[in-house]
Amino acid sequence: MTTVKLPDGSLKEFDSKVSVKDVAKSIGSRLAKDALWGEIDLQPVELDYEIPQGEPVNLKIITKKDPNALATMRHSCAHVMARAVMRIKPGVQLAFGPTIDGGFYYDVECDEPLTEEDFPAIEKEMAKIIALDEPFERLDRPRADAIQVCKDLKQDFKVEHIETGLADDDSLSFYQQGEFLDLCRGPHIPSPRRIGAFKLLSIAGAYWKGDQSREQLQRLYATAFFTQAELDAHLELLEEAKKRDHRVLGKRLGLFHIDEMVGQGLVLWTPKGSFVRQKLQDFISEHLQRQGYDQVFTPHIGKLDLYKTSGHFPYYQDSQYTPLVDREYLSQLAEEGCTCGELSNLMNEGEIEGYLLKPMNCPHHIRLFASEQRSYRDLPIRLSEFGTVYRWEQSGEIGGLTRVRGFTQDDAHLFVTQEQLGEELIGCIELVKIIFGAMGMEDYTVRVGLRDPDSSKYVGDPENWDLAEQACREAAQTLGKDFSEDPGEAAFYGPKIDFVVKDCIGRKWQLGTVQVDYNLPERFGLEYIGSDNKPHRPIMIHRAPFGSMERFIGVLIEHFAGSFPLWLAPEQGRILTVSDKSEEYGKRVESQMRDAGIRVKGDYRSEKLGAKIRDGQLEMIPYMMIVGPRDAENGTVSIRDRIDGDLGAIPVEEAIAKFQSEVADKTVRSKSS
RNA sequence: GCUGCUGUAGCUCAGUGGUAGAGCGCGUCCUUGGUAAGGACGAGGUCAUGGGUUCAAAUCCCAUCAGCAGCUCCA
């Protein structure tokens, strides 16, 4: 008698000996077909494994649909990869080898570094190991033995990990496959036969335990699927995603340029890119005006004293451009025989005079607030500015539009009373909602950053923190979207709400942010006169719904795959003449459209129509207006839609009205309208 | 900043020690064609920069700058 207990608690009894596959068959033919392997008391077993008779056993039949099935297989594949590397490069030290979204990696340390040229050899060795079909066997060892095992294997990282990271574990598990033995929590697939198709993807540096001061290892990225077809589809997807990369599209569509001679991370906006940016600024300005914001302008530099007061200098010097040292002060130092080293020391101590390229806009706005006496009747005061800031980002971090050294925040600072805080936060969230909604961006996550109760890095009164954190939670709730609460993610001066999106290759970027600040009003001694005729301290809210124009547009290019909605498109329509005979009519339509406020250009080259259309499609022109003798005769244009193709001939006035209404509605169109 | 890879025509890339290549784009001419590439000819390169090795370097070595992937960082 064989008795199995299934995950839903039901019992199944069999008179004779049965295999896992037999059980699956008894449940359903579909399940039998989809079954990959079984799990008996959490131990993976092959489908032909004969279930022991007697006592009931817990059996789970694993299929592709099981959320952990793919990850388990990939992790086993990571072991195979590590084993292959060790065979090829003796003396390899292994670190961690987890699964990640889309694949897995293994961190290793080799005497002589691995390169992509080693990939074919590693893949070949992996194929050999899989063909051997040796099972992954679990071994449990008491702590002391486990350390000795790792020492015998000369795996120093594993020894360290048991001694520190796994200090509380009394017993540790290993998995063995052939000569390969690795400290591992498991689980694994019953045999490597389940690894359908795999591929090594890339190699990169990574620090041991993510610590910059520790050893730098080599991280081998790879992926695996149950079938070759799935792997191919995945690789295809990666290729497709690359074509949407804003750096590729930005170049192809001529939206921006980053010039070596100008400087790393400094964006030059072309006329087309500038147009998009300006449209976005106009859009947000309109909503700011509706929400009662006041627009201000402030300079790009400020005295070092300003930043000494704000606390940003000299403490965050590493992420700022070098200060512009005051001319008189510099010559005075020179007369005193100050050396470069001494100047550098003065800088580190903040003991110099001069100006700083502004790394943020808040101090300027704060000084505007402080420039007049404020009454509680004036509050809230909302100062907004498309303020350009400069930060000395690490060179390895810079790239495209998403991480740059000079960028323009759609910034604003709100000076509010404690009572106004909640409502103003909701107003900020509302703005973010409007923007994301207008762009059709649904795929973003919301993160409420709270203080870590165990940390001392936070400034201000804990009671105020509680109030502000609660206000942030309540504001985030008005989004009608799930959000995470992350203790320790708050700024040192207050809690915040961040909006995060992913780029075309899955990297996460923070766009909009709303932050509560008790610190700067304190440091600058800001006050307003309350109804009690006594001075009170306002609270500040920093907020930027786009985050920065650069990063937002970078993400937006990828979101639209370069096809901007009509209201944002630099060139909304293009007149294509069928032949030179229609040039005059084409030019007449062109100027008629332009007079109506439509951004059009004419393609009057003596190319064939097909070639002009192809060019227009590749340039992502929303509408092409084909004009030939028939159109000239009837006063029409034959519209070709970027998405839906040929729409037939319509009168010019009708086309204008169609475009105008699509612009007015800020319609976001996807594959089909 | 760190590790690895890369840098050749406006763009995408081939060229691995012996006279610099292709496709696209660009220019001129021919062609006047109704919904994704018509044809011919032509111009265009200190092979990122600076050193070194060599009879000889785009090619090998070193440094610098820049780009890419990842790590670290992002007040």
Span CA (A204) to C1' (B44), Å: 38
Is 90 exceeded by the pLDDT of residue A374?
yes
Pairing of strands A354-357, A103-109: unpaired
Residue A247 in any domain: the answer is no
pLDDT tens for A645-661 read: 999 999 999 999 999 99
Q: Give one DSSP letter per residue of A370-430, joined into a string.
A: HTS--BTTT-SEEEEEEEEEE----GGG-BTTTB-SEEEEEEEEEEE-TTTHHHHHHHHHH
Residues A484 and A531 in one domain: yes
Establish whether A391 is a catalytic residue. yes
Nucleotide nearest to A633 (CA to C1'): B34
Same domain for A158 and A185: yes
pLDDT (average), residues A358-373: 96
| CA A400/CA A392 separation, integer angstroms | 15
pLDDT bin (cut points 50, 70, 90) of residue A559 is very high
Task: Tell me the average pLDDT across A537-554.
Answer: 96
Provide, in whole angstroms, the distance separating residue A111's CA from nucleotide B55's C1': 39
- In A 335-374, which Cβ lie closer than 7 Å to strand B? 359-360
Q: What tokens does A164 get?
A: 């520190």
Joined together, the tokens standing for residue A234 give 């995945």
- pLDDT tens digit sequence for A246-260: 999 999 999 999 998
Is residue A502 in a domain?
Answer: yes
CA dihedral A659, A665, A670, A672 (to 10 degrees): -60
Query: How high is the mean pLDDT of chain A?
Result: 91
Q: Are residues A59 and A77 in the same domain?
A: no
Residue A51, pLDDT score: 83
**Residue A420 CA to nucleotide B49 C1', Å?**
58
Kindly determine whether the C-beta of residue A251 is less than 7 Å away from any atom of nucleic acid strand B. Answer: yes
Distance (Å, whole) CA A188 – CA A82: 15
Model pLDDT, residue A671: 58
Residues A120, A128 contacting (CB under 8 angstroms): no
Q: Tell which phi-psi region holds residue A263, choosing left (phi > 0), alpha (psi between -120 and 50) or beta.
A: left
Asked if residue A112 keeps its beta carbon closer than 7 A to nucleic acid strand B, the reply is no
If asked whether residues A393 and A486 sit together in one domain, one would say: yes
**Domain-located, residue A332:** no
Instruction: Specify whether the backbone of A267 is left (phi greater than 0), alpha (psi in -120 to 50) or beta.
Output: beta
Q: CB < 7 Å to strand B — which of 462-491 in chain A? A: 491
Residue A320 resides in a domain = no
Looking at the fold, whether A188 and A43 belong to one and the same domain comes out as: no
**Separation CA A87–CA A125 (nearest Å):** 8
Residue A228: CB atoms within 10 A of its CB come to: 12
Strand B within 7 A of A257 CB: no
pLDDT of residue A3: 83
For residue A673, tell me if it sits in a domain.
no
Does at least one atom of strand B sit less than 7 Å from the CB of A80? no
Q: Which carries the bigger pLDDT value, residue A335 or residue A572?
A: A572
Of A39, A63, A87, the one marking the end of a domain is: A63
Q: Which nt has its C1' nearest the CA of A115?
A: B4
Q: What is the mean pLDDT of residues A502-508?
A: 91
Question: Does A420 participate in catalysis according to the annotation?
Answer: no
CATH code, domain carrying A55: 3.10.20.30
Nearest CA to A582 out of A551, A606, A550, A547 is that of A606
Handedness of CA A403, A407, A408, A414 (dihedral sign): positive
How far is it, in rounded angstroms, from Cα A106 to Cα A98?
7
Tell me: do A125 and A231 sit in the same domain.
yes
Which tokens belong to A280?
């976005």
Residue A32 lies in a domain: yes
- In angstroms, the Cα distances linking A493 to A319, A461, A521 are 18, 10, 10
Give the CATH number of the domain where residue A145 resides: 3.30.980.10
Nucleic strand B near CB of residue A645 (< 7 Å): yes
Residues 537-556 of A with CB under 7 A from strand B: none
Q: Which entry of A246, A358, A496, A551 is annotated as an active-site residue? A: A496
Which of the listed residues A17, A35, A63 is the one where a domain comes to its end? A63
- Is the distance from CB of A11 to CB of A56 less than 8 angstroms? yes
- Of the residues A391, A543, A559, A612, only one is catalytic, namely A391
pLDDT tens per residue, range A463-489? 888 999 999 999 999 988 899 998 888
Average pLDDT over residues A445-459: 85
d(CA A525, CA A527): 6
CA-to-C1' span, A201 to B67 (A) = 20
**In this predicted model, what pLDDT tens digit does every residue of A102-130 receive, in sequence order?**
899 999 998 878 888 889 889 999 999 99
Q: Which residue has its C-alpha nearest to nucleotide B39's C1'?
A: A607
Distance, CA of A260 to C1' of B57, in Å: 26
Which of A348-352, A412-416, A571-575 has the weakest average pLDDT?
A: A348-352
Do A375 and A486 belong to one domain? yes
Q: Smallest Cα–C1' distance to nucleotide B74: which residue has it?
A: A393
A204 touches strand B (CB under 7 A): yes
Q: What is the mean pLDDT of residues A220-229?
A: 94
- Where is pLDDT greater, at A390 or A462? A390
C-alpha A618/C-alpha A620 separation (Å) is 5
Per-residue pLDDT at A137 exceeds 90: no
Query: Residue A208, CA: closest nucleotide via C1'?
Result: B71
What is the Cα–Cα distance from A296 to A623, expressed in whole angstroms? 38
Same domain, A173 and A75: yes
Write the DSSP assignment of A205-253 as a string of letters: EEEGGG-TTS-EEEEEEEEEESSHHHHHHHHHHHHHHHHT-HHHHHHHT
Phi-psi region of A457 (alpha: psi -120 to 50; beta: other; left: phi over 0): alpha
Whether residue A234 lies in the annotated active site: no
Residues of the domain holding A626: 573-664
CA distance A581 to A578: 8
Q: Which of residues 571-600 of A touch strand B (CB under 7 A)?
A: 577-581
Please tell me whether residues A483 and A594 are part of one structural domain: no
pLDDT at A191 over 70: yes
Cβ of residue A617 lies below 7 Å from strand B = yes
Beta-carbon contacts of A360 under 8 Å, excluding residues fewer than 6 positions away, are A312, A389, A409
Based on the residue annotation, tell me whether A340 is a catalytic residue of this protein: no
Report which residue type is found at A206: A
Rounded CA–C1' distance between A282 and B54, in angstroms: 63
Q: Report the percentage of chain A scoring pLDDT > 90.
A: 65
SS3 content of chain A, % helix, strand, coil (to 5): 40, 25, 35
Q: What is the pLDDT of residue A305?
A: 93
Residue A401 lies in a domain: yes
The spacing between the Cα labelled CA in A260 and the C1' in B37, in angstroms, equals 34
Question: Is A605 domain-assigned?
Answer: yes
A207: which nucleotide lies closest, measuring CA to C1'? Answer: B71
Per the structure, the count of domains in chain A is 4
Element (H, E) at A603: strand A600-603
pLDDT at A673: 45
Q: Of residues A93, A317, A320, A409, which has the active-site annotation?
A: A409
Give catalytic status of residue A496 as yes or no. Answer: yes
How high is the pLDDT of residue A672?
45
The residue count for chain A: 673
State whether A599 and A650 are in the same domain.
yes
**Mind listing the pLDDT tens digit for each residue in A513-524?**
999 999 999 999
Whether residue A235 is found in the same domain as residue A218: yes
Structural contact between residues A227 and A195, judged by C-beta atoms closer than 8 angstroms: no
Place of tokens 């699964």: A99
Domain edge (last residue) among A511, A533, A559? A559
Rounded Cα distance between A358 and A160, Å, is: 44
Catalytic site includes residue A184: no
Q: Which of these ranges, A227-241, A340-354, A393-407, has the smallest mean pLDDT?
A: A340-354
Spanning CA of A583 to C1' of B30, the rounded length in angstroms is 20
**Residue A609 pLDDT greater than 90, yes or no:** yes
The average pLDDT across A16-24 equals 85
Euclidean distance between CA atoms A322 and A405, whole angstroms: 13
Among protein residues, the one whose C-alpha sits closest to the C1' atom of B65 is A260
Could you tell me the two tokens for A362? 């808040």
Please check whether residue A142 is in contact with residue A171, taking contact to mean a CB–CB distance below 8 angstroms: yes
d(CA A241, CA A620): 17
Protein residue with the closest CA to the C1' atom of nucleotide B37: A611
Protein-contacted positions of strand B (CB under 7 Å): 1-5, 11-12, 30-38, 65-75
Active-site pick, A79, A312, A365, A413:
A413
**A291-326 pLDDT, tens digit each:** 999 999 999 999 999 999 999 998 888 899 999 988
A619 touches strand B (CB under 7 A): no
Co-location of A77 and A51 in the same domain: no
Strand B close residues, chain A 116-175, CB < 7 angstroms = 116
Bridge-based pairing state of the strands A528-529 and A535-536: antiparallel
CB atoms within 10 A of CB A534: 8
Is the pLDDT reported for residue A84 higher than 90?
A: yes
Domain CATH code at residue A609: 3.40.50.800
Strand partners, A494: A491
A13 DSSP 8-state letter: E
For A379-411, what is each residue's pLDDT tens digit?
999 999 999 999 999 999 999 999 999 999 999
